[in-house]
Amino acid sequence: MKTTLNVLLLLLSISTASLAQSEKKISLQDCIDYAMKNQTKLKGARLDEELTNQKNNEVIGVARPQIAANGQFQYLFILPKQRASSDAFDFSSSLSFFKIDTPAYNAYMSQPKKKYSELQFGLPLNLSAGVQASQLLFDAGVFVALKARKSLEELSTLNTKRTEEEIRVSVSKAYYNCIIAEKRIALLDENIALLSSIENQTKKLFEEGFAEKIDADRLTVQRNNLQIEKEKIGNLIELSYQLLKFQMGMPLQNSIQLQDNLTISEVKNGLELDQVLDYNNRVEMNQLKTIKKLNGYDYERYQKGYLPTVAAVVSGSYATQTKSVADLFKYSYFPTGAFVLSATMPIYDGNTRRSKMNQAKLNIMKNDNDMDALRQAVDLESSNAKTQLKNSLISLENQESNIELAKKVYTIAQKKYKEGVGTNIEIIQAETALKDAQTNFFNSLYEAVISKIDFQKSLGLLK
């Protein structure tokens, strides 16, 4: 029994150690890589991309030979009739040559003549089988569609690339939001620990008669306020992690830990504010250019709509007719073969083709206008992002100085209080100023890194 218990404890310790090792910390790049594989929005974009490829294959299939087999069994339980002129079956003039004089002959000759005769042809059971092959020799619309395949694939790829960029932005912002929240709660823990130490010292001084109870109560209230703020930030951290996992496409019940840190030097790393804007780096501009190509193909397709469509068809079949099922495979089959070359040329379509050409031309003009509008929007976005980034960096540097000053003031207030020349009110005020400086610093740090992401995105350089 004791041996079994030891084995169970050993297995439990091994599994616990394995779990601890499996929950490794993940970097921002790890989160982005995970999102690129699991984000449902990106999966949908890639499915759309594959759907476009299959549609292109469909166009290729139209230009290839089409081969089909056919077979038919037919039972005519009522044979069809056909009318024919009775003159074709009137033998009275020929029979009169023989000068026949019999009651039967006289009865036949005396019958009134019908204008038409009803005849039945064929047999009730029909069986046929054949093969038909067709080839489209010329169709301007199909050939233009074949030329447009590459542009369609390019547009689909650009749509996926744009989705990837959006996911990269959303994951990065959510990741840094979690980092900032973790830093804030860590500093709150430090502040609570320092304030608790001073609170305990004040309580001892009160017990020894060297301080008033109100002094200790003020510190208790301040510590409680910090504790409440910590709980609020803790709840926000949970929401921030949920948002990050959602942006990654990760199940919300999964547990993750973050590896990266965020400092001023990391925000400034690789940052070049004087980079030249190149519109071609923006996915949206490349999308519009590709759409313009496709609109051009549309115009070409309608423009060549007056050309004929030429196709060739070769067919062959075997058929037989009998009165009974047993005879279907008893007698020989009659072969039939045919070669057909067909051409169809539109003459007048009520100006439908001309209207479609005008629509395609207007779409091209509209596309040019969209590109001009995008250039203006990108200029504004880039300028705004650059200004926001500059302001964020200035604010960040100022807040960094403020936090250093607030730390010095807090240290001096502590020292004065311990030496008996300061009051706990000074400590509370200094602690409040330090907390505010820390909050402002982290807000500025988050704004700076978000501004950096927006600036890189505006230039089309976010990787």
The tens digit of pLDDT for each residue in 97-117 reads: 555 566 765 665 566 666 666
Res. 1: pLDDT tops 70: no
Mean pLDDT of 380-398: 93
More confident residue, 424 or 447: 447
CA geometry: angle 142, 143, 146, nearest 5 deg:
90
Task: Say if residue 329's pLDDT is above 90.
Answer: no
For 156, the enclosing helix (H) or strand (E) is helix 140-207
The residue assigned the tokens 């030496």 is 419
What is the structure's pLDDT at 167? 96
User: Is 125 among the domain residues?
Assistant: no
In a domain, 111, yes or no: no
Q: What is the overall mean pLDDT for the chain?
A: 86
Dihedral angle over CA of 218, 222, 224, 229, nearest 10: 160
pLDDT at 327: 74
Kindly state whether residue 99 falls inside one of the protein's structural domains. Answer: no
What is the pLDDT, as a whole number, of residue 113? 64
Does any domain span residue 84? no
Domain at 64, CATH number: 1.20.1600.10
Q: Which of the residue ranges 26-35, 180-189, 414-423 would you say has the lowest mean pLDDT?
A: 414-423
Percentage of the chain exceeding pLDDT 70: 88
Confidence of residue 423 (pLDDT cuts 50, 70, 90): confident
Do the domain assignments include residue 90?
A: no
Under 8 Å between Cβ of 102 and 279:
no
Per residue in 341-360, pLDDT (tens digit) is 999 999 988 899 999 999 99
In a domain, 329, yes or no: yes
Is 310 within a domain? yes
Domain-located, residue 416: yes
- Which positions ≥6 away from 70 have C-beta within 8 Å? 129, 130, 131, 132, 317
Specify the 3-state DSSP secondary structure of 39: coil
How far is the CA of 289 from the CAs of 158, 277, 284, 358, in angstroms? 11, 18, 9, 20
Average pLDDT for residues 76-96, to the nearest whole number?
A: 67
Convert the pLDDT of each residue in 247-276 to its tens digit. 999 999 999 999 998 888 888 887 888 888
Regarding predicted confidence, which is higher, 95 or 394? 394
Structure pTM? 0.78
Domain that holds residue 318: 25-69+130-459
| Model confidence at 22: pLDDT above 50 | no
Read off the pLDDT band of 89 (50, 70, 90).
low
Overall number of domains in the chain: 1
Per-residue confidence band for 15, with pLDDT thresholds at 50, 70 and 90: very low
Least confident interval from 17-21, 68-72, 126-130, 223-227? 17-21
**pLDDT value at residue 417:** 77
Q: Considering all CA atoms of the chain, what is the largest pairwise distance in Å, rounded to the nearest integer?
A: 164
Neighbour count for residue 379 (Cβ, 10 Å): 13
The whole-number pLDDT of residue 17 equals: 40
Which residue has better confidence, 325 or 235?
235
